Structure 1
Amino acid sequence: MKPAPPPQPPTEPVATEQVLEQHRDALKQRFPLPPPAALQRRRGGRIAKTVLPVLLVAISAVCIADPAWQVRDYQTAVGERRQITLPDGSHVLLDAGTRLQVRRHLRSRQVLLAQGQARFDVQHSAWRPFQVEAGPVHVRNYGTVFDVDRQGDLSEVTLWRGEVGVRVEGGGAEQRLKPGQRVLAQAGSLSPPEPVSPDRADWTRGRLQFDRLPLSEVLRILQRYHDRPIVLDDPALGPLQVSGVFDADRAETAVALLPEILPVQVLTAADGSLHLRARR
């Protein structure tokens, strides 16, 4: 008879939960858990490490893009002049027939002059420059009083106090002006600064003084103050020079006076429009 085989160890392993339960107290003493407050701080730190870089990138993108966060439109009717005060304390006087848009940005102040003329008396700010865009002409203010007169893509910039820089699209470096100077600017062309008479400032009070100004330019200015068209029927008359002082609030009277100083005649059409032709 064969002897009985020796007893075999049990084939089912002891459950892991049972082992942990048997040694739970010893494990807690050897590897204590941090208090709940510390765990919360760690979780908060991980979140901060994840969110902070995203916030920094977003803030940097906003600063670089410099989006406008407030936009206001202003305009004047024929014969109307209007004074506006901007939130930064700057003042803008709009001539008749002028349209512009003021945009407040995070890092800059921008004005888009669509048509007409305006005087800017700017409150200086070292970190938020003031700029005027007149089509392809860009005027940067350095704490000044200046005029911008837009005539389509051509603009006349006149400086009365302080300093401005003028540049044009497709042109060279920025041109700095001194008080009492003006430039004519358009895409790819910027005239040298030239002196201007202080009397030119009188448009702000409705007094227009012309010193050998071409007739075509005089009529363009007078048109701002007349609600009916002023038409130069013969373009060859455009270069004729006009000198004199006129009342902007009486544009029709000013046109009627032109035959006294130029070889022209003024005719009134049935619709009320004024037509200038060569005198016969």
Structure 2
Amino acid sequence: MSSSRAPRPAMTCPRSTACQPCKNLKTPPSKTRPQGWQRLLLAMALQVGVAVLWLGLLVQTSWAGQMPLLFWLVVHGLVAAGLSHWRTREPWWTAFHLAMPWLALLALQWQLPLWVYPLLALLLLAVFSPVLKDRVPFFLSSDQVAQGLLQIMDQRQTKLFVDLGCATGGLLVSLARSRPDTEFVGVETAWLPYWVARMRAMRLPNLTIRRQSIWDLDLKGFDLVYCFLSPDPMARLGAQFDDQADQGARLVSNSFQIPGRKPGQTLPVQDWRESVLWVYPKA
């Protein structure tokens, strides 16, 4: 049967030498937004810039000095969060900017020793580093999602399952205990969730946790590929799945769709997020 779908354009990697995760992808990584540490530096620069604006008002005007501190904390958070949302449309950065002035006030009032700040920064980095690199926040799948995945697995007689970005491994532990004859693999890049998942998987012989980027993982051989990421990486992941997965494999995405692509199956989940499992066959 012939297909009327137009072929996808060939990928050209933005680097001088194509990196391994990009070599076989049909959709190039986005070049329109800052990546990695650039985004954190831009966020901090925005906070400093708004603070400098307020200091200028305090020096140049009389009314600014008469306003209470609460007023400036609220306005600072709203202005920084509004500018961030206008440029990024990413809710976790909006929340970051709203919280920053209040966190700074608490730090000043508590008079914390200087070593606490780098320790907190390292702890946050150990948990949320995927947000900086791939725009993938720290999401945990609900028990209801686990039940939905078991339903899909039984329909497909799944033998090898992978969770892309498994966090602390709670979903995989639940699935591995429910289906001891199925092999489960979880991949995670953030150090702290990875080690938590590793420890939780120690007594489950059918569960393996790897510290690995989803872009470095070969999806060949997996019957079911599950992810709970964010809208940004979905187009690239869809292309990777089509290039690497076996015929008959399925990609199940929690909440976020592959843009411009119709799923083969949808499964609404009755959890507090009102999640939807989008099931995509290999194109």
TM over 0.5, shorter chain: no
TM (norm. structure 1) is 0.25
Larger radius of gyration: 1
Q: Which has the higher strand share?
A: 1
TM (norm. structure 2) is 0.25
Structure possessing the higher relative contact order (Cα contacts under 8 Å, 6 or more residues apart): 2
